[in-house]
Structure 1
Amino acid sequence: MSLPLNPPAIILVRPQLGMNIGAVARAMLNFGLTELRLVQPRDGWPNPDAGPSAAGADKVIENARVFDSVAEAIADCHLTIGTAQTTRDMVRRVTSPAGCVAELQALPGKSALLFGPERTGLVRDDLLECHAICTIPSNPYFGSLNLAQAVAVLGYAWVMGHDAPPPTWLVNSEGPAAQHELAGLIATIDSRLETNGFFNPAPGKTETARWMLRNVLTRPGFTGAEVQFLRGVVRHLVQARRPS
């Protein structure tokens, strides 16, 4: 059986135990996933506890990259899907493992799957960096999977979804913009709103408004050209274009 091309990066956000990271590496390689990225691993990296549980997936462990933030880890990604059992009361697009894989395999650019720490899973700030959320169907009374199990479920879906057509797709689109482009747009709008006194100084209101802004702008999956267009719109709303 051939493996799908252009596999996503697997990103573990604030993982706690080295043995769990090793088990994730093993699950990844079982399904042809080799790019592991770690965001703020609690016990540092490299971690000697990862080797035994990797059970031979040495190249995944050796090539793992460490990042200081989710934003840095996904900067080159055009589609980021976070795995979670809850949307944290946010209006977000939620997909199944099969739907998630269909999107990933239809994308020509770089993609990533985010997995949260063992104790809490992804928190709201993590999910705001994602274009969509993937929820793994499970027992509603005992739905928490361990880290390697969750990666294995998505890895299996990745292999089984090979050549399966996506449920829907966009025409005439080069795919979503890279995350660093979208982050630049959000920062530009945020800065202008700050200058114009948009944010409410009441306790908690500014943070909520910024969450809402990021949530609204990460949901549609703007293309790179659309992001540049929107940055131009913002720029000319602030400063009128000079007559030629």
Structure 2
Amino acid sequence: MQDIRKPVIILVRPQMGENIGAAARAMLNFGLTEMRLVAPRDGWPNPKAVAMASGAAGRVLDHAKVYPDLASAMEGVDFAFATTARGRDLTKPVYTPATAMEKARGHDGRCALIFGPERAGLENEDVARANAIVTVPVNPDFPSLNLAQAVLLLGYEWGRDELPPEPAPLQRRPDGEVPADRVEIERLGDHYEEKLAEAGFFFPETKAANMRLNLRNMWSRLSLTRGDVRILHGVLRQLTRR
């Protein structure tokens, strides 16, 4: 059962199976699961799309529907956004991805995001069937986006309010990534101080106490992991072996 609150992704005349599979991955990254394909160039299903979708995103392709034209692919859609980087002679509101997806979230009916073929994008006849245009503000000297990149951008803007504000912390980390505790830092400082003293580093004697203090302060400022501490002990042992 598709979630009618989420936008439908419509790929119009997509050319490469790899791009369809990559678009499926981008969709699932942000919880979008309904893909509609309009006259895919290489037919459907496409093994290259499945290979690129890789794993869980394959279920997006499993449920993708194929239509002969855009008009039929917009079945059940109340409001559609056409994505294009080119200027158009058609009079329509033009939004950035952020503004467009804000409007989509506030729309009561079913929305669709329409993407054109890789080589030339949507034709005017396609754009005419949409209610509004979405254009990404990019470098005007190179405005072209890969199909999957465009899907990813709009998917991110759609799901942004539902995403966690910060990356989730790692629940399980290898021992080498665990922060070193104060005892481990102290032992590391002792090890270096001992070997530096043997090498005559603390000279002249009148400055030795301050040098030791500065070194100890330096160790406490560093955000070392247990793995870092082991490496630094090993480095010092190797350097002083002879």
Q: TM-score, normalised by structure 1?
A: 0.63
Percent sequence identity is 50
Post-superposition offset of 1:15: 0.2
Segments ≥4 residues shifted beyond 3 Å = none
**CA 1:162–1:102 in 2, change beyond 3 Å: closer, same or farther?**
farther
User: For residue 139 of structure 1, what is the amino acid of its counterpart?
Assistant: N
Question: Aligned residue for 2:234?
Answer: none
Return the letter of the residue paired with 1:75. E
In structure 2, what is the equivalent of residue 146 of structure 1?
146
Q: Which residue of 2 aligns with 1:215?
A: none
- Cα deviations across residues 87-119 of structure 1 (Å, max 9, x unaligned)? 422222101111110111111211100000000
Matches within 5 A, 1:108-119: 108-119=108-119
* C-alpha RMSD over aligned residues: 1.6
Matched, 1:24 2:6: no
Q: Which has the higher helix share?
A: 2
> Retained in 2: the 8 A contact 1:88–1:123?
no
AA in 1 matched with 2:156: Y
Deviation of 1:139 (Å): 0.8
Query: Separation in 2 of the partners of 1:55 and 1:158?
Result: 23
Alpha-carbon distance change, 135 to 25 in structure 1, aligned in 2, over 3 angstroms = same
Q: Are residues 1:9 and 2:26 paired?
A: no
Contact map agreement 2:4 2:110 (CA 8 A) in 1: no
SS of equivalent residue, structure 1 residue 77 = coil
How big is each residue's C-alpha offset from its partner over 1:130-161, in whole Å with a ceiling of 9 and x where there is no partner?
00000011111111000000000001101114
Q: What residue is the counterpart of 2:91 in the other structure?
A: 91
Superposition map of 1:123-138 within 5 A: 123-138=123-138
SS of 2:47's equivalent in the other structure is coil
Shift of 1:5: 7.7
Structure showing greater Rg: 2
Kindly state the Cα deviation for residue 51 of structure 1 after the two structures are TM-superposed.
Answer: 1.1
Q: What is the CA-CA distance between 1:127 and the residue it aligns to?
A: 0.3
Q: What letter matches 2:32 in structure 1?
A: L
Could you say which structure has the greater relative contact order, defined with CA pairs below 8 angstroms and 6 or more residues apart? 1
8 Å CA contact 1:101–1:161 kept in 2: the answer is no
Could you give the per-residue CA deviations for residues 32-53 of structure 1, whole angstroms, max 9, x where no partner exists? Answer: 0000000000000000110111
- 2:63 paired residue number: 63
Aligned length: 160
In the other structure, the counterpart of 2:209 is: none
TM-score of the aligned structures, taking structure 2 as reference length: 0.64
Q: Tell me, which stretches of 5 or more residues in structure 2 are unaligned?
A: 164-242
